[in-house]
Amino acid sequence: MRYCRARYGSTFALRIAGLGTVVLLSDPDSIKKVFTGSAEHLRAGEVNAVLEPIVGTNSVLLLDGARHLRHRRLLLPPFHGERMKLYAEQMREVTERSLARWPRDEPFPLRPYTQDITLEIILRTVFGVDQEHEVSELRGRLERLLTIADSPLAVIGLIPALRRDLPLSPWGRFLRDRARADEEIYAVIERRRRAGIEGRDDILSMLLDAVDEDGAHLDDAELRDELMTLLVAGHETTATALCWAFERILATPRVLARLLGEVGEAGEDFSPERLARMPYLDATIHEALRLRPVIPLVGRRLHAPLGLAHFEIPEGWVVSPSIYLTHMNPTLYERPEEFRPERFLDKRIDPYAWLPFGGGVRRCLGMAFALFEMKVVMATILSRQRLSLAQRAPVATVRRAITFSPRGGTRVRATPVR
């Protein structure tokens, strides 16, 4: 992407198998036009269709038009920023249980542990599973399903023509793993319906209670698909973002020292109110997401021609704001390759220049949840462990399914703080 921008400018076209002609953008004016344009003419669901096998046909990621708006309106209230405060204690407890299992004074990859943390947080706050045997059962089935991202053959699941349900094929195994996971997800939904939602504040309970403007609820298939969407969008991505954040922090001693000072001043108080008074931690997370975005781009398929700058993009093409190229644009960020959290201290964030969660009516619903979760998890880890990087920085980027991850999962050494 950087090579193409250097050669062709901030707007250029690629031909990508399965998508056709894709126009990559990295200037805020063009991105704003895409993010604020007609949802009828700029359809994201068609571009995201590659995710259908795992998130289902009812996922807010795949829907366009009226159905997308209906699902988005039903899903928005549980992710209101103020509601995140209800989950702070659960997030901290999950992180501390994970820390008790970390190796001591020997190199280990951080990613498996951040994945454990983010998965359990989702099981408890989104699915509302709180009985240990239920957590264990659902975790096991979902982990097996999500290993598709670890397989070199995962690309097979992204290409419809290569999907073959054979006894030993990767696609056949995926279908069986998905069926086992769905069985447990539907069981969780049924148990919650029977038990009722009174007194519960998990997201599944709120979705069961939600009604659209016609008074209709989400049915079980819609609930399953949206729960899977929240899992896929909030598990691997947040776990990887945490790995990138620690890779950059540990490779930048002045940032680590300032963070430790801010976390140390909080003592044992990581309440939502105290976290709100930790501006350097917040700025560090924003800078890590800028420099190492987990998802490199987003897309909209055109159902009408679109004029951008001095180009006329024809109907049928895909326009794609490049998150990575925008974040590395030197006209937006001075010395963009440097890790400098100070960029985000006391600064208004331009939604068309900082877009790790996408933008417009398709911006990630879980943005507030993910940012708050990262603050809780990072503050807890930094207060309990002294970490050092156990691989050379900067760590190379590798692709895992649709995400960009640190090679080796960010290898660290950890020593508990007494």
pLDDT digits (tens, 9 = 90+) for 387-416: 999 999 999 999 887 889 999 999 999 999
Tokens of 5: 């921008």
**Per DSSP, what are the bridge partners of residue 414?**
387
Tens digit of each residue's pLDDT (9 = 90 or more) over 292-312: 999 999 999 999 999 998 899
Looking at residue 285, its pLDDT comes to: 98
Specify the pTM. Answer: 0.94
| Chain length of the chain | 418
Distance CA 169, CA 149 (A): 16
Mean pLDDT within 2-10: 93
What is the CATH superfamily name and number for domain 37-295+356-416?
Cytochrome P450 (1.10.630.10)
Domain boundaries, the chain: 37-295+356-416
Kindly tell me if the per-residue pLDDT of 291 is higher than 90. yes
Binned at pLDDT 50, 70 and 90, residue 162 comes out as: low
Kindly tell me if the per-residue pLDDT of 325 is higher than 70. yes
> DSSP string covering 53-89, please?
HHH-TT-TTT--HHHHHHHHHHHTGGG-GGGGGGGHH
Kindly tell me if the per-residue pLDDT of 155 is higher than 60. no
Report which of 307, 320, 341 is spatially closest to residue 5, judged by C-alpha positions: 320
